[in-house]
Amino acid sequence: MMSDQPSASEERSPWSRPGVLLSGAFLIALTLLGIVLAATGGGKHGSPQQSPGAAGPTSPPPVSRTTTAAGGCDLPAGSQAIPWSSPPATRWGTVGSMQVPQNPGVYGPQYTRGVYATCFAQDPAGALLAAINVYAESTTGVPASEVMRRYAVGAPAELGNNSGIDNTGPVQLAGYRYDSYTGQAAEVTIVIQGGQSRLLAVVTSMQWRDGDWKYVFPAGGQPSYQAITDLSGYVSWSAFG
């Protein structure tokens, strides 16, 4: 287990380092999810993942919603249409240092208390927004262990209190690809843009738990991810055009 004090190499912005690297250390940003990463155009990658491509227009199964939700979450399970090719209707808000899509009355977050945004709808768009929110929460300066306690299932109790990937420059949402959805679980690939417009696509698994979407902490702490050169095969989505 890592100590709470990051090494000199860990303190460097992951976007400024060449290649895409894995580490056993947990930084508070994308590495809340267990990775130390640097996106370059070189196409190196971590765990294997499928090549980017448009998902088929399959119909999602009916939703069986938990009627009693922890934390007072009670957004209705709305449209089960999966946003394969275009983003759901949202406005842009700020969580930490990131701009994030939100629609509080439809997809969520239903509640914002301090830096914490919670209660997303039990539908594909709600799962997508919840996944993006996990990344944004990791830029608020809150310790990784606290963010994971609130937003994840299966995370270790101790993750350290290291600085985020935005500590030497901004990061932002660039796009996504919806991979699967069952009503109780969703998998989306979120594309984050760092310095010099470098792009990193990270597979993000979500689970419906206690009336809200939770991030599924990956076994071994290392999700599938890939440095990409452009958004081919992904839906472009950014607050900055």
Q: What is the pLDDT of residue 170?
A: 81
Upper half-sphere CA count for residue 110 (Cβ side, 13 Å): 18
pTM above 0.85, yes or no: no
Q: 73: which 2 tokens?
A: 């979450």
Of 50-64, 94-108, 137-151, minimum mean pLDDT range: 50-64
Give residue-wise pLDDT tens across range 103-159.
999 999 999 999 999 999 999 999 999 999 999 998 888 887 888 889 999 988 776
- Per-residue buried b or exposed e for 125-136, using 16+ beta carbons within 10 Å of the residue's own CB: bbbbbbbbbbbb
Q: Which helix (H) or strand (E) holds 133?
A: helix 124-137
Residue 130, SS3 per DSSP:
helix
Q: How far apart are the first and last CA of the chain?
A: 41
Give residue-wise pLDDT tens across range 154-181.
988 776 655 555 665 688 999 999 999 9
